[in-house]
Structure formats: structure tokens, C-alpha cells
Amino acid sequence: MSSFYDNLEVWVKRQKEIKELFMKAEENYAEADRLTLITLSRLAFQHMEKTIEAFDNWLKDPMITTHMPRELLVELWGNLREIFYKLIELDIEHTSKFAEHLKKLESSESVNPLFTLRISREEKETRRQPPTPII
């Protein structure tokens, strides 16, 4: 069992280190250039993906599921649901704002022409889809 405890302690320590690294890296994010902001965002998403996958695996582990008290699960869901809904809200808000921004760029003919080629190709590909028969 001591190796199990050691693994838990190592995991917690690593998560704390990563949190501190991110906090240091993003101190002046409001003044950062676009590349830095994209990099921060991508690295954060990558770490979230790893953490979510590890959390999911944690909840699949019979050792955990057998011994996890209900109170901890209620607390977990209470926190998780806030993160979950916040992420969905973030996605809706960010995607909607970018769509509006792109429409403005398109109306002022400011979209890079290389990307308009990609967009028109994607539109044609969706038009090539045969209609779904109604049965």
C-alpha cells in the first residue's frame, strides 16, 4: 500500500508544480502577444486533457470505486459540474464571438484569401452530399 500512497503524493506534488509554472508563465497574460496566448491556451488544454483522462481512469479503478465515500463523490460532482458548465459556456461564448468577428472580416473583405479557398471547398464538399431519402 505504501507505493500506492507514494504515487498519490507524487501526483499531487506534480499538479502543484504545474499550477505554479502556469501561474508564473501567465502573470502578464493581458499584455502577451497572440502566439504566447495561443501557446498558453494549448498547453492548458493539453494538461486538462491529461488530468481529465487520469481522473476518469481513477474513477474506473476498483480500489477507488470500492473505497470512495459518497460524501467525496458528492463534493467531486459539485465541483465538476461547475467546471463542466463553465467550459460549455466558455465554448459557446468564444465560438460565437469569433464567428461574429469572422463575419465582420468577411464583410470588409479582410479574410486572408488562402482561407477563403478552404472555406469555399468545405462548403462545396457539404453540398456534394446526397440528400437523405425520407422513408
Q: What is the pLDDT of residues 83-131, one digit of tens each?
A: 999 999 999 999 999 999 999 999 999 988 888 776 666 666 666 565 5
Domain ranges, residue 34 = 2-68
Q: How many whole angstroms separate alpha carbon 90 and alpha carbon 85?
A: 8
Q: Is residue 92 part of a domain?
A: no
Domain count, the chain: 1
Q: Of 26, 27, 50, 52, give the one whose Cα is nearest residue 38.
A: 26
Q: Is residue 9 part of a domain?
A: yes
pTM of the model: 0.77
Q: Is residue 54 part of a domain?
A: yes
Q: Is residue 32 part of a domain?
A: yes
- What's the pLDDT at 127? 61
- The DSSP 8-state label assigned to residue 27 in this structure reads T
